Amino acid sequence: MQNQEVYDELVAKFEKVYGEKPTIVSYAPGRIEVLGNHTDYNEGYVFSAAIDKGTFFAVAPTADDSCALTAGDFMETATFTTKTVAPAKEMTWQNYVTGTFNWLFEGKPETAPHGWKGMFLGNIPLGAGLSSSAALEMCTGLALAKLYGKDVDKTTMAKIGQKAEHTFAGCPCGLLDQASSMYGAEGSLVKSDFRTNSFETVSMGPTVAFMMVKSNAKHALVDGAYASRRQACEDAAKYFASVLRKPVTHLRDVTMAEWVLYRGGLSETTAKRAVHPIGEDERVVQGAELLAKGDLKAFGALMYDSHESSRNWFENSCEELDAIVDAAKALPEVYGARLSGGGFGGSCCLLVDPAAADKIAAHITKEYKAKFGDEPVCSVIKPSQGAHLV
């Protein structure tokens, strides 16, 4: 479904369910992660982009403290009041919204002057690693901030969504997904520095595009694998702080040379986990120089390196994602490919010559099908505008 159709359907369903028109509608896109994997919570660097698919949130105020929230796709409604906002164990989709509402009011939603009725609908494929949950948080945040007349800057909004994710949805994510959704710009990559939380847009030429290839491997970050990777990074940072004669708070502070020299003091698994974000940071810094020179081939080579690092060190890839990257390597029209986002399933992000998109999709589909029997979903992605009110 195109964005306009999603919007029209949402507004029509809103009127049907609530008997009135929404007063505010907002939109927030999903994101692709282009380079820099699991670096955000290590205070490192990432290249990402907002995509041309997202989620819309429609809302109208209520006269009392009552709230209602409808998931526009399966038409389920959760009801609560501004005084009973809490993480839900059933209809857990509501947690992204109620968590955002909660933190928009700094944990005191009962201080909201009135309630609201809301509905959301989007076109980001679920479980694809395209951050449908961050998109939902960000469109919720924008619509509710407008409803209550709150002036919230983009970084603060991203942090509100991240807090919702941590405390209501149970995923200890970094800030990448929410920041990419907020700061995305048409035709551009977002270069993020998660130490300073500075976000810069870098324009991409028209001669390249991204292709997302969605595997059919399940991608669920709430089930512990993401958290255990994050824990290993934090443990490694503590260790490096104890052996290096310089301040270390996060793996951002550790160089590859230092890892090589001091890794012996870490367990083998923790050492393997730590080298991934350290290498990724170096690759993003190098990638920025290559992009500035327009050297897409060399930039793409870094994407392949990134995937190897996921495959061998961080172990957040899987057979399906590896097969997609391996198939991509055979084609000169693909400059680079890697898994995108948390990993353990989801999608790969390919940097491609858009003129060869059909050929690339056909080749990867053929190889994937021969191995797994089913077909991946290939779509060309246009880096797009970030979250906004409609």
322 lies in the binding site for ligand GLA (CB under 6 A): no
30 lies in the binding site for ligand GLA (CB under 6 A): no
Backbone φ and ψ for 220, nearest 5 degrees, come out as -135, 115
Residue recorded with tokens 């995509």: 51
263 lies in the binding site for ligand GLA (CB under 6 A): no
342 lies in the binding site for ligand GLA (CB under 6 A): yes
Provide the 3-class DSSP secondary structure of residue 28.
strand
44 lies in the binding site for ligand GLA (CB under 6 A): no
- Residues 154 and 184 sit within 8 Å (Cβ to Cβ): no
- Cβ 169 to ligand GLA shortest distance, Å: 10
Backbone φ and ψ for 122, nearest 5 degrees, come out as -145, 180
Round to whole Å and give the CA distance between 271 and 273.
5
Catalytic residue among 8, 40, 65, 177: 177
Binding mask 66-105 for ligand GLA (x = CB under 6 A): ----------------------------------------
53 lies in the binding site for ligand GLA (CB under 6 A): no
Site size for ligand GLA, by CB under 6 A?
12
The residue within the footprint of ligand GLA, chosen from 37, 123, 181, 384 (CB under 6 A), is: 37
- Cβ 34 to ligand GLA shortest distance, Å: 11
306 lies in the binding site for ligand GLA (CB under 6 A): no
The count of residues in the chain is: 390
- Residues 336 and 384 sit within 8 Å (Cβ to Cβ): no
Helix axes 357-372, 319-329, angle to 10 degrees: 140
The CA distances from residue 173 to 106, 163, 201, in Å, are 19, 9, 22
Q: Smaller CB distance to ligand GLA: residue 68 or 220?
A: 220
Six-digit token pair at 207? Answer: 């001669």
The CA distances from residue 177 to 46, 89, 108, 349, 385, in Å, are 11, 24, 25, 15, 14
Q: Smaller CB distance to ligand GLA: residue 93 or 116?
A: 93
Active site residue 177: yes
Round to whole Å and give the CA distance between 135 and 17.
23
138 lies in the binding site for ligand GLA (CB under 6 A): no
The residue within the footprint of ligand GLA, chosen from 341, 345, 383, 386 (CB under 6 A), is: 341
Report the sign of the C-alpha dihedral through residues 92, 95, 96, 98, in that order. positive
- Cβ 229 to ligand GLA shortest distance, Å: 9
Q: Smaller CB distance to ligand GLA: residue 115 or 287?
A: 287
The residue within the footprint of ligand GLA, chosen from 33, 137, 305, 353 (CB under 6 A), is: 33
In sequence order, which ranges of 117-192 are alpha helices (DSSP H)? 132-147, 154-164, 176-183
The residue within the footprint of ligand GLA, chosen from 51, 135, 138, 173 (CB under 6 A), is: 173
Hey, which residues are catalytic here?
177
What does the binding site for ligand GLA look like in residue numbers (CB under 6 A)?
Answer: 33, 37-38, 40-41, 131, 173-174, 176-177, 341-342
